[in-house]
Amino acid sequence: MKVKKSLIGLLLSAMLLSMLNVSGYAATYSTANSNANQKTKDVYNWLGNLPNNSSNRVVSGFFGGYSNSGFSTSQMESLKSMTGQYPGIFGCDYGSGWATANDPTTLIDYNCNSALKTYWNNGGLVTIDIHYPSPGPSNGGNLNTKLGNFSDLLNTSTSTGQRWRAYLDKTAAGLADLQSAGVTVLFRPFHEMNGDWFWWGNQDANTFKNVWIDMFNYFKNTKGLNNLIWVYGPDISRGNKTAYYPGGSYVDIVGLDAYSDDPSSISGYSEVTGLGKPFAFTEIGPRTTGNFDYTKWINAIKSQFPQTVYFFAWNDSWSPTQNSQGANNLMNDSWTVNRGEINIGSTPTPTPTSTPPSGTNLALNKSVTVSSTDMASNPGYAAVDGNMTSRWSSAYTDQESITVDLGSVQSVNKAVLYWETAYGKNYQIQTSTDGSSWTTVATKTNGTGGTDTLSFADINARYVKMNGTQRGTQWGYSLYEFQVYGNGTSTPTPTPTPTATPTPTPTPTPTPTPTPTPTPTPTVTPTPTPTPTATPTPTPGSGSIKVQLVNGSTAASSNQLYPKFRVINTGTSSINLTDLKVRYYYTKDGSQSQAFSVDWAANGNNAIPTSSVSGSFVSASGTNTDTYV
Please report the sign of the dihedral spanned by the C-alpha atoms of residue 359, residue 364, residue 369, residue 374.
Answer: positive
Angle at 120 between CA 115 and CA 125, to 5 degrees: 110
Contact 562, 274 (CB under 8 A): yes
Residue 141: count other Cβ atoms within 10 Å of its Cβ: 19
Please report the sign of the dihedral spanned by the C-alpha atoms of residue 192, residue 198, residue 204, residue 209.
Answer: negative
* Distance separating alpha carbons of residues 273 and 294, to the nearest angstrom: 23
In 324-385, alpha helices (H): 324-331
585 Rama class: left (phi>0) / alpha (psi -120 to 50) / beta: beta
- CA distances (Å), 439 to each of 160, 415, 431, 432, 533, in order? 76, 14, 5, 6, 39
Tell me the catalytic residues.
192, 283
DSSP 293: -
Contact 486, 416 (CB under 8 A): no
* Distance separating alpha carbons of residues 412 and 423, to the nearest angstrom: 23
* Distance separating alpha carbons of residues 398 and 394, to the nearest angstrom: 10
Amino acid identity, residue 430? Q
Would you list the DSSP string of 327-396? Answer: HHHHHTSTTEEBTT---TTBTBSPPPSSPPPSS--TTTT-EEEES--SSTTS-GGGGSSS-TT--EE--S
- CA distances (Å), 305 to each of 24, 180, 269, 553, 557, in order? 26, 35, 7, 12, 13
* Distance separating alpha carbons of residues 561 and 572, to the nearest angstrom: 33
Burial class (CB in 10 A: 0-12, 13-18, 19+), 518: exposed
* Distance separating alpha carbons of residues 56 and 220, to the nearest angstrom: 32
- CA distances (Å), 570 to each of 379, 387, 407, 462, 594, in order? 19, 17, 11, 17, 34
Contact 361, 386 (CB under 8 A): yes
In 110-222, alpha helices (H): 113-121, 159-180, 205-217
- For 275-399, strand residue ranges (E) read 279-285, 308-313, 336-337, 367-370, 392-393
Contact 295, 303 (CB under 8 A): no
Contact 625, 587 (CB under 8 A): yes
* Distance separating alpha carbons of residues 392 and 384, to the nearest angstrom: 9
* Distance separating alpha carbons of residues 133 and 137, to the nearest angstrom: 9
The β-bridge partners of 483 are 416
